Amino acid sequence: MASTNIYQMVTDRIVEQMKASIVPWRQPWVGGSAMAISYTTRKTYSMLNQLLLGKPGEWLTWNQIQAKGGRVNPGAKSRFCVYCKPVEKPQYDLETGEKTADTYLLLKWYRVFHIDDTQGIESLCTPVAPGTSLSPIEQAEKAIEAYLGREVSLRFYNNKKSASAFYSPSRDEVVVPMLSQYALAEEYYSTAFHEFTHSTMHEDRCNRRSESSITRFGDSAYSREELVAEIGSAMICNRLGIEHEKAFKNSAAYIQSWLKALKNDNKMIVWAAKKAEEAARYFLGDTDADVVVAPSTS
Ligand SMILES: [Zn+2]
């Protein structure tokens, strides 16, 4: 029996949403304060699973629903989510024969149902506590200031008229057009966060630079690194409450370009979602990820 290609399954699910004009990483709740969570463990799902599940709120496996005495509504559809399972098997360098690792990670999947598609399961969500009194724009400025304060080698230029935004790895420099060049402040911040996400590729930060020899990262190439910047920027905007409708233009051309790139590389979305989550957390100074790693049996 041919084994299921899980990377293709993941890509197909993302493509399905994009064909319906939904850009999964630009949903306002993805990466924000009301994400998809495990009913049982109360942990949030990984960024990739947020994209796959496509709906915030509590999710349960079939067994968890049965154990709680609940049932699935007739006709309700499950969604799949994924996790990495370490497999104990030595890995060797093909050229030198040297052992490089004792284990490798295998991508696995399982199915979950949204609590809205069940009966007899009581929601454990409590009303959201009042947040900070800072406006999203103030929070965005504070986040940039804090990041630049931690990353002393990184230079940031936003005080000159510029026709483009980019990150230069060789100069460790982020350049964005001036705020006054944008019709809306939200567009300025989403652009800045895109470039700051690129800046986490630096070897002293999240270390993704070996993936590419490109000397300057802007907004045009539909590569894996560009998808990291797109997802990272969306996650940061959502976390800070920058309104996504104003920040992003979901043009048909944008969707078509990503559809093509995703179809050409079925490992792109798995890789980019993981790296984007790391990058966004790094930018926000939030490294204590409390995410679901595997289906809970309880
Ligand atoms: Zn870019």
Query: Residues with Cβ < 8 Å from 67, sequence gap 6 or more?
Result: 298
Mean pLDDT of the chain: 88
With residue 10 as reference, give the H or E element that holds it.
helix 6-19
N- to C-terminal Cα separation, the chain = 31
Residue 54 has a pLDDT of 93
CA distance 187 to 193: 10
Query: Residues 243-259: pLDDT tens digits?
Result: 878 888 768 889 999 99
* Beta-bridge partners for 37: 44, 58
- Please say whether the beta carbons of 158 and 180 come within 8 A: no
Asked if residue 126 belongs to a domain, the reply is: no
Judge if 88 and 159 occupy the same domain: no
User: b vs e for 211-222, b when ≥16 Cβ sit within 10 Å of the residue's Cβ?
Assistant: eeeeeebbeeeb
Indicate if the alpha-carbon torsion angle 118, 62, 81, 281 is positive or negative. positive
Give this prediction's pTM.
0.88
Q: How many domains does the chain have?
A: 2
Asked if residue 168 belongs to a domain, the reply is: yes
Asked if residue 26 belongs to a domain, the reply is: yes
Q: How many residues appear in the chain?
A: 298
Query: Residues with Cβ < 8 Å from 264, sequence gap 6 or more?
Result: none
Asked if residue 232 belongs to a domain, the reply is: yes
Asked if residue 292 belongs to a domain, the reply is: no
Judge if 25 and 103 occupy the same domain: yes
Looking at 58, 86, 118, which one is the last position of a domain?
118
Asked if residue 130 belongs to a domain, the reply is: no
Judge if 239 and 153 occupy the same domain: yes
Q: Would you state the torsion angle of the CA atoms of residues 114, 115, 117, 119, taken in this order, to the nearest 10 degrees?
A: 160
| Spacing, Cα 241 to ligand 1 middle (Å) | 21
Judge if 114 and 167 occupy the same domain: no
- Please say whether the beta carbons of 30 and 50 come within 8 A: yes
Give the residue numbers spanning the domain of 36: 6-118
Judge if 162 and 275 occupy the same domain: yes
| Spacing, Cα 199 to ligand 1 middle (Å) | 10
Judge if 171 and 280 occupy the same domain: yes
| Spacing, Cα 190 to ligand 1 middle (Å) | 11
| Spacing, Cα 227 to ligand 1 middle (Å) | 8
Looking at 60, 84, 118, which one is the last position of a domain?
118
CA distance 7 to 271: 10
| Spacing, Cα 279 to ligand 1 middle (Å) | 13
| Spacing, Cα 184 to ligand 1 middle (Å) | 19
Judge if 267 and 153 occupy the same domain: yes
| Spacing, Cα 197 to ligand 1 middle (Å) | 8
| Spacing, Cα 84 to ligand 1 middle (Å) | 28
| Spacing, Cα 53 to ligand 1 middle (Å) | 26
| Spacing, Cα 257 to ligand 1 middle (Å) | 14
Q: How confident is the model at residue 298 (pLDDT cuts 50, 70, 90)?
A: very low
| Spacing, Cα 74 to ligand 1 middle (Å) | 44
Judge if 114 and 140 occupy the same domain: no
Judge if 13 and 144 occupy the same domain: no
Query: Residues 121-167: pLDDT tens digits?
Result: 999 987 766 666 789 999 999 999 999 999 999 999 999 888 899 99
| Spacing, Cα 166 to ligand 1 middle (Å) | 7
DSSP state of 102: E
| Spacing, Cα 295 to ligand 1 middle (Å) | 34
Asked if residue 297 belongs to a domain, the reply is: no
Asked if residue 298 belongs to a domain, the reply is: no
CA distance 149 to 83: 34
- Please say whether the beta carbons of 275 and 210 come within 8 A: no
Rg (CA), the chain: 20
Residue 295 has a pLDDT of 66
| Spacing, Cα 223 to ligand 1 middle (Å) | 9
Provide the angle, in degrees to the nearest 10, between the axes of the packed helices 185-199 and 224-240. Answer: 130
| Spacing, Cα 219 to ligand 1 middle (Å) | 4
Looking at 118, 151, 173, which one is the last position of a domain?
118
**Which bin fits 54, alpha (ψ -120 to 50), beta or left (φ > 0)?**
left
Query: Residues 215-241: pLDDT tens digits?
Result: 566 555 568 899 999 999 999 999 999
* Burial class of residue 123 in the structure, from the number of CB atoms within 10 Å of its CB (0-12 exposed, 13-18 middle, 19+ buried): exposed
Query: Residues 2-36: pLDDT tens digits?
Result: 456 999 999 999 999 999 999 999 988 888 778 99
